[in-house]
Chains A and B, each alone.
Chain A
Amino acid sequence: MNKVRNIALSGMSVMMLGLVVACGDGPPPPEGPEQNGSEADQPSGDEAGMPTEGGTITAALGGDPQTMDQGVNSGALTNLVAWNIFESLFAMDEEYLPQPMLAESYDVSEDGLEYTIHLRDGVVFHNGDSMNSSDVVASLQRWTEVSATGQQAGEAIESIAAVDELTVSITLSVPRYSLISDLAFTTQMAIIIPEEIADEVGTTPMNAEQTVGTGPYQLAEYNEGQHVLLERFDEYASLEDDLGGFAGAKHAWADEIEYVFVPDETQRFNGVQTGQFDWVQSINADDYESARNHESLNAIPSARGTINTVLVNHNESSLFDDVRAREAINLIIDKDVFAAATFGPEWVWEPLSNSFVSPDNATMYSDAGEDIFFDYDPDRAAELFAEAGIDGSEPIRMLTSQTYPQFYQWAVMIQAELDELGIPMEIDVYDYPTIADMRSSEPESWDLSTSFFTGAVTSPDQILWLGGDWAGEYSNDERDELMAQYQESTSPEEALAVATEIQQLVYEDFPVVQLGHVSEVNVHSAELIFPDDWTNVLYNAGYGE
């Protein structure tokens, strides 16, 4: 069957005529990055002055998002567009703290089981209707069904009810410390949409006509495969204070934002150099230096980043069911060498962080396990492999993709290290949708794989590979206890302490092998002014005088 499938894949590959070379689409990078010691000596928004109203921002995405429904879709292509359209009750500020957005305020009962959320008055949907508690109840119920984070929160939620026109109560069966952070989380976000649309779409993604939010821009046109045009929503009720991140005031300086889809990274970079595009989603890391030195461009390590990761298969069919094998993989990877070779210039990753969140994410950042992260000891790795029964008689199977060139580079570098130990590794290369599917549906087909994850999580529950319902099938009783303990926290300090313990566990049990954090760079025209280095947030970007 595998042969047949490979033949079929080969046939498709021929049809695509080497598409991989030219295209480079696939899984959109998980949401944006974060600054890494913002050493960029280019003008930030503050230095360049305030934007003024008017103009159109032409932004080049790596592909067609297919849907604007970021409640359902977890990819960056959808998020990048939809952050302008939708809002949630709470939003993450520049310090990763949840701040009221559509909520005015909230109260928590003493036992932590009853949340009363007061809604802002005067919030209007793009269809002209005013937002009220029934819209919020319907939206949150949908969130508990369609979002991974919502489903986890839903296990603790007993009921969601409208108290009055502008008040909603959420009753929990067990405490959930991260509830407000969950409501502010930006992947499969808890978007608030009109009740009738929530009922109509159910768990399926919204289509263009149903794309109605409360954000500063509304969908004017979605021509599938070609472009998304957003226009300023004149009735948008902005908050006043600038809080950074996704929270606070949303200025909507530009009259319109047009997202065009340019799969080829080189062409995105070419387009922004010539002024055809004002902003582009990630480009090839090899072009970062060139972009940084270009007089008409800004290339700033963006706020938020991704954690590069080697996924490990814990399925009993895999050689890496044994923790010694997982530890050995960590020991053969010299993290600084990997980063220097594949992450891009030093200013996007140095100093290399071992945390499972971005370095400026104070809600969960910790350097626990740093010594293990940087430990490079091939001799010890050889011993551990031998103890785990990996003697080179059968190859390790790496599932990777060239959709993101660095994925394949990591695989080749690991293969070289293993080769030094006399252990062969087969690298199976597919397009990203294929490996994403195979990792889950064919657990017997792989041992290692490659991916990256957002560093903007604000609760361990939001880290997918820590959960059991994701590729790799990681399971650990101590993890379960710590995750439960985290949700019982009563203060940020207590929560951070538990998160630190979880991170330490990650370096003892190796659910995955982390390679380090890297900032994303969204190159943009120097004329486009951002208030800070959250250069994914276009609703607060605009042109100067």
Chain B
Amino acid sequence: MLGMVLRRFRDMVIVLVLVGTVMFFILQLIPGSPARAILGEYATESQVAALEAELGYDRPVHEQFFDWFGGMVTGDLGYSTSMGRGVTEAVFQHLGPTLVLALATTVLSVAIAIPLAMHTVHKPDAWSSRLLMGLSNLGLATPNFWLALVLVLIFAVNLNILPTSGYISPLSDPLWSVWYLVLPVVVLISNLLALLVMTLRESLSSELLSSYIRTARAKGLSESKVQYRHLLRNALLPVITVIGSNFGTLLGGIVIIEIIFVIPGMGWALNNGILARDLPLILGITLVSALIFVLINLLVDIAYGIIDPRVRVQ
């Protein structure tokens, strides 16, 4: 296990270097000047050129790259012109709201998906199971941004019981923060929950036919023990992969949802960075997203080992 962890850390460094380098050069190809974003669209060409020179964007690309790369190696991701602060500080400031959103979405989705999936497996012909599977298909097929606007229209504009947008940190006011999080979390859950129910149902169905389930029942174990200690534990493996990759995606920035609901998370910052052509910020967010993905994959692998001892042996 330790060897695997060390190998993953080595791979992580390689991934980050590659992602950073490739992204740096891709971003150079994109038209649009950070100086124009700062000066506004009605600035003259000479004003833009002067500010670009002042910001160092007129230097040769390789010079800019080595400067940025050298900083990255030492943990300095540069200065964000749109945020007016260091990139590292800006990224971590915006990571908080996304983390809250991702955790709330994931925890609630898993908590709801497990009993629902168990129900559909054990009573596959019940009308409630059919309804659940239909709703899951609908959840997977519904675009998030559309659902978001519809829910805002119903619950905020017409019923006026929830805010249209905004964010309050749970650390500053836990109760009000929930009020603001309800709609975005519901929108995100609609998709993830559907995916988890479908995945877990498939996994549970195939595990249900396994011989160890028959053995457990033959031993006289109670049905709840069979289901939760044996069936669910083994069926969870593919679900963990789904949870891991979705959690990574959520942390990487749920751009549309954060923009619609005005949540100052990573997606919001990425959007601002792109509109402002704030290259260090875009690079910083990309790198942190890549780092999160790699770490989550590592955690998923470790979780595999904990849940299934055969993985540890392999």
Q: Which residues of A contact B (CB under 8 A)?
A: 4-5, 8-9, 11-12, 15-19, 21-23, 25-28, 30, 63-64, 66-67, 72-75, 78, 146, 148, 151, 187-188, 203-205, 207-208, 223-226, 260-264, 266-267, 270-271, 273-274, 276, 430-434, 436-438, 440-442, 451, 453, 464, 467, 469-471
Contact = CB atoms under 8 A, between A and B. Distances in A.
A270 B152 contact: yes
B277 interface: yes
Contacts of A30: 42
B153 interface: yes
Nearest to A262: B262
A433 B262 contact: no
A264 B259 contact: yes
A393 to B, nearest CB: 27
A11 to B, nearest CB: 7
Contacts of B261: 267
B233 to A, nearest CB: 35
Given A203-B50, A267-B164, A270-B152, A464 B44 contact: yes
Contacts of A17: 255-256
Contact of B82 (A22, A66, A187, A438): A66
A137 B166 CA distance: 43
Contacts of A203: 50-51, 54
A276 B160 CA distance: 10
A22 to B, nearest CB: 5
A190 B144 CA distance: 45
Given A205-B38, A438-B31, A274 B44 contact: no
Contacts of B153: 270
Interface in B43-95: 43-48, 50-51, 54, 81-85, 90, 94
A187 B42 contact: yes
B31 A19 contact: no
Interface string B162-190: 01111100000000000000000000000
B231 interface: no
Interface of B: 26-27, 29-33, 36-48, 50-51, 54, 81-85, 90, 94, 145, 149, 152-153, 156-157, 160, 163-167, 255-256, 259-262, 264, 268-272, 274-277
Given A267-B261, A271-B164, 7 more contacts: A25-B271, A74-B41, A224-B90, A264-B259, A270-B153, A437-B31, A470-B45
A21 B54 CA distance: 34
The listed residue with most A CB atoms (<10 A of its CB), out of B40, B165, B262, B276, is B40
A148 B51 contact: no
A322 to B, nearest CB: 23
16 contacts: A8-B26, A15-B255, A18-B256, A27-B40, A27-B41, A64-B82, A74-B40, A203-B54, A204-B51, A225-B264, A226-B167, A270-B165, A430-B31, A433-B37, A469-B44, A469-B46
B32 A274 contact: no
B203 to A, nearest CB: 29
Contacts of A432: 41
Contacts of A4: 29
Contact of B36 (A22, A187, A188, A433): A433
Given A260-B262, A270-B153, A5 B165 contact: no
Given A208-B84, A276-B166, A16 B262 contact: no
Nearest to A76: B40
A433 B277 contact: yes
B259 A22 contact: yes
Nearest to A187: B42
A451 B42 CA distance: 10
Nearest to B47: A148
A26 B32 contact: no
Given A4-B29, A19-B255, A148 B40 contact: no
Nearest to A74: B40
A74 B46 CA distance: 14
A264 B156 CA distance: 15
B36 A437 contact: yes
In the A-B complex, list the 10 residue pairs whose CB atoms are closest, starting with the nearest: A74-B40, A75-B40, A27-B41, A74-B42, A433-B32, A8-B29, A270-B164, A469-B44, A224-B83, A271-B164
Contacts of A204: 51, 54
Contacts of B90: 224
Contacts of B46: 151, 469
B111 to A, nearest CB: 27
B3 to A, nearest CB: 35
Given A73-B39, A203-B54, A276-B163, A5 B269 contact: no
Residue of A203, A207, A436 with most chain B CB atoms under a 10 A cut-off: A436
B166 A260 contact: yes
Contacts of A18: 145, 256
A31 B40 CA distance: 12
Given A4-B29, A66-B276, A16 B164 contact: no
B30 A148 contact: no
A17 B46 CA distance: 34
Given A266-B149, A433-B275, A437-B33, A225 B94 contact: yes
Contact of B32 (A75, A224, A437): A437
A225 B272 contact: yes
Contacts of A207: 84
Contacts of A430: 31
Contact of A276 (B81, B164, B275): B164
A427 to B, nearest CB: 17
B41 A271 contact: no
A271 B261 CA distance: 11
A270 B157 contact: yes
Given A64-B272, A270-B164, A441 B40 contact: no
A205 B50 CA distance: 13
A62 to B, nearest CB: 11
B39 to A, nearest CB: 6
Most B CB within 10 A of own CB, among A22, A30, A208: A22
B51 A440 contact: no
A78 B37 CA distance: 11
Nearest to B28: A8
A12 B274 contact: yes
Contacts of A74: 39-43
Nearest to A207: B84
A16 B271 contact: yes
A198 to B, nearest CB: 16
A224 B274 contact: no
B83 A434 contact: no
A436 B41 contact: yes
Contact of B26 (A11, A16, A261, A434): A11
Contacts of A464: 42, 44
A151 B27 CA distance: 32
Nearest to B43: A74
Nearest to B253: A15
Contacts of B149: 266
A263 B47 CA distance: 27
B82 A467 contact: no
Contact of A72 (B38, B156, B270, B277): B38
Contacts of A23: 259, 271
A22 B145 contact: yes
Given A12-B274, A226-B264, A434 B30 contact: yes
Nearest to B97: A226
Given A63-B275, A224-B90, A5 B29 contact: yes
A457 to B, nearest CB: 11
A421 to B, nearest CB: 31
B83 A274 contact: no
B84 A436 contact: no
Contact of A273 (B45, B84, B157): B157
A271 B156 CA distance: 8
